[in-house]
């Protein structure tokens, strides 16, 4: 039995593609709300679209959520609940709230066009309610199969939205919604209500594109004598060009962001904090993020997800990652430099896999065309390299001796050294890189032999 005083939320994706950053925003807002209030998080896979739903997408959803740090308390598949939907549909038929309609899509389209030509709202006229039993039998004899509409009550449906504040909508201005298609399959409008009621969902947190469904769904809750949950419709994310996000295009999918090497908390931080009252900042954990976000402080305007901003956030997170947090990943990349290597290179990384470039520069070989003017200088630098063992304290006295011997300083001293030792004129501090390179390789590089 569900505790009536506890918070229960759900995230309800359809497994018809990979989750994108906009889906992640909804999932995270639900998860964070549940964490903040000590509640439950349900993953409900809306997989009744048999043509487009795929098991591999369902598996990917679970995997991508786990990458973000979201592990559901319960996972439910709508395809396992068809008998329950049949049972509720029969209850609605018996109470005269669900009625059969036989119009074809072409007939409905012609009717809407006539209404628009007469400057009338294109609302279904409930003609099916005037059919007699004989009329329905004759239509079925023609081979027609009914679709089923929910009979709306002409009322002003109101709710207090946690994101948008007080809302109301006159359902008398709407067409009675189709809940069951002529092939017997159910639409989201009704299955979502049945699931929310049965699973004890207390708070429905979803994108504002679902606001138009809410008044109808509240009427269905009431028709089923079920408790209506609290609704919260958050603003949506758009891509940098202003276009909406879609699972079908794969744009900004969690899978692609993970494959590009982004940290899950960088993705989570930006997905949640953008378009909120909080400044966008890298947050180290979901628990910390839960303490920052308030649904009623989310902007009403769409928020733009900028990959460049994600790069900046990721860099800031990586710079603070301790070695134990990345040790296994570095090992998987073939990097064996341990903590000294990680501490040396992390300030120069946007992503953890970028460390491979600097490991390759340490391992070598490094081949650089040294300008003739620098050859004698680098030979002198090799000649006064101190004996090993080396540490970060090795660098400063070596540089001091080199200045005294060659008279060079500033850029004319440091740039040739960095180029010869690492192959590039920028990067981690040489005092940290030098002991990783070691005396043998340093000598070969300074003398142009490796």
Same domain, 301 and 328: no
Residue-wise pLDDT for 240-251, tens only, equals 776 666 655 556
Same domain, 72 and 44: yes
Residue-wise pLDDT for 22-64, tens only, equals 999 999 999 999 999 999 999 999 998 888 889 999 999 999 9
Cα 179 to Cα 184: distance, rounded to the nearest angstrom: 10
Same domain, 138 and 240: no
Same domain, 224 and 278: yes
Q: Which of 298, 254, 296 is nearest to 278 (CA)?
A: 298
Alpha helix positions (H), 199-346? 211-223, 254-259, 264-273, 286-290, 307-319, 323-332, 338-345
Question: At which of 310, 342, 363 does a domain end?
Answer: 363
Same domain, 128 and 274: no
Lowest mean pLDDT among 249-253, 272-276, 373-377: 249-253
Exposed/middle/buried for residue 206 (C-beta within 10 Å: 0-12, 13-18, 19+): buried
Q: DSSP character for 248?
A: T
Assess whether pLDDT exceeds 50 at residue 259: yes
177 torsion bin: left (phi>0), alpha (psi -120 to 50), beta (else) = beta
Lowest mean pLDDT among 48-57, 139-148, 255-264, 353-362: 48-57
How many domains, the chain? 4
Same domain, 303 and 156: yes
pLDDT of residue 248: 57
Same domain, 407 and 336: no
Q: What percent of the chain has pLDDT over 70?
A: 96
Number of H helices, E strands in the chain: 19, 12
2 band by pLDDT with thresholds 50, 70 and 90 = very low
| CB contact set of 95 (below 8 Å; sequence gap of 6+) | 223
Same domain, 182 and 216: yes
CATH number at residue 220: 3.40.50.620
| Contact in structure between 247 and 312 (CB atoms under 8 Å) | no
Question: At which of 363, 391, 424 does a domain end?
Answer: 363
pLDDT of residue 111: 94
Q: What percent of the chain has pLDDT over 90?
A: 85
Mean pLDDT of 158-181: 96
Same domain, 316 and 327: no
Same domain, 113 and 181: no
The whole-chain average pLDDT of the chain stands at: 93
Same domain, 416 and 347: no
Q: Which of 421, 448, 433, 344 is nearest to 390 (CA)?
A: 433
278 band by pLDDT with thresholds 50, 70 and 90 = confident
CB-side neighbour CA atoms (13 Å) of 135: 11
> Hey, what's the torsion of the CAs at 139, 143, 144, 145, to 10 degrees?
120
Mean pLDDT of 394-407: 96
Cα 278 to Cα 122: distance, rounded to the nearest angstrom: 43
pLDDT of residue 317: 96
CATH number at residue 404: 1.10.10.350
N-terminal to C-terminal alpha carbon distance within the chain = 71
Assess whether pLDDT exceeds 90 at residue 217: yes
* pTM passes above 0.75: yes
Residue-wise pLDDT for 72-130, tens only, equals 999 999 999 999 999 999 999 999 999 999 999 999 999 999 999 999 999 999 999 99
State which residues form the domain around 427: 372-446
Same domain, 265 and 297: yes
Question: At which of 332, 363, 394 does a domain end?
Answer: 363
């Amino acid at each position: 039995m569900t505790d009536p005083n506890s918070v229960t939320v759900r995230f309800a994706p359809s497994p018809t593609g990979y989750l994108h950053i906009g889906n992640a925003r909804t999932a995270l807002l639900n998860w964070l709300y549940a964490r903040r209030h000590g509640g439950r998080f349900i993953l409900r896979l809306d997989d009744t679209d048999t043509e487009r739903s795929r098991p591999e997408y369902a598996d990917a959803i679970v995997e991508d959520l786990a990458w973000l740090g979201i592990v559901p308390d319960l996972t439910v598949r709508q395809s396992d609940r068809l008998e329950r939907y049949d049972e509720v549909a029969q209850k609605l038929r018996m109470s005269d709230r669900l009625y059969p309609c036989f119009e074809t899509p072409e007939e409905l389209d012609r009717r809407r066009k006539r209404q628009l030509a007469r400057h009338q709202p294109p609302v279904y006229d409930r003609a099916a309610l005037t059919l007699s039993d004989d009329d329905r039998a004759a239509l079925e004899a023609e081979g027609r199969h009914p679709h089923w509409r929910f009979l709306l009550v002409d009322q002003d449906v109101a709710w207090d939205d946690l994101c948008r504040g007080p809302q109301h909508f006159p359902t008398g201005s709407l067409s009675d919604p189709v809940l069951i298609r002529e092939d017997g399959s159910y639409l989201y409008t009704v299955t979502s209500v049945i699931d929310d009621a049965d699973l004890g969902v207390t708070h429905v947190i979803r994108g504002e594109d679902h606001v138009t469904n809410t008044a109808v769904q509240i009427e269905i809750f009431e028709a089923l004598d079920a408790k209506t949950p609290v609704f919260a419709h958050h603003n949506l994310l758009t891509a940098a060009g202003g276009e909406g996000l879609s699972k079908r295009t794969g744009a900004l999918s969690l899978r692609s962001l993970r494959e590009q090497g982004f940290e899950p908390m960088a993705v989570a931080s930006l997905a949640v904090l953008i378009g909120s009252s909080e400044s966008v900042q890298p947050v180290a954990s979901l628990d910390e993020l839960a303490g920052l976000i308030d649904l009623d402080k989310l902007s009403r305007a769409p928020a733009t997800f900028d990959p460049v901003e994600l790069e900046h956030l990721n860099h800031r997170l990586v710079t603070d990652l301790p070695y134990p947090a990345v040790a296994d990943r570095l090992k998987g990349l073939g990097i064996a430099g341990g903590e000294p290597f990680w501490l040396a290179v992390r300030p120069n990384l946007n992503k953890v896999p970028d460390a491979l470039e600097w490991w390759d520069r340490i391992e070598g070989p490094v081949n650089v065309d040294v300008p003739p003017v620098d050859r004698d200088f680098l030979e002198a630098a090799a000649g006064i390299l101190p004996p090993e063992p080396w540490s970060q304290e090795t660098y400063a006295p070596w540089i001091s001796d080199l200045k005294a011997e060659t008279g060079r300083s500033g850029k004319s001293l440091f740039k040739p050294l960095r180029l010869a030792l690492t192959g590039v004129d920028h990067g981690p501090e040489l005092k940290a890189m030098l002991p990783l390179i070691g005396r043998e390789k340093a000598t070969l590089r300074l003398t142009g032999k490796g």
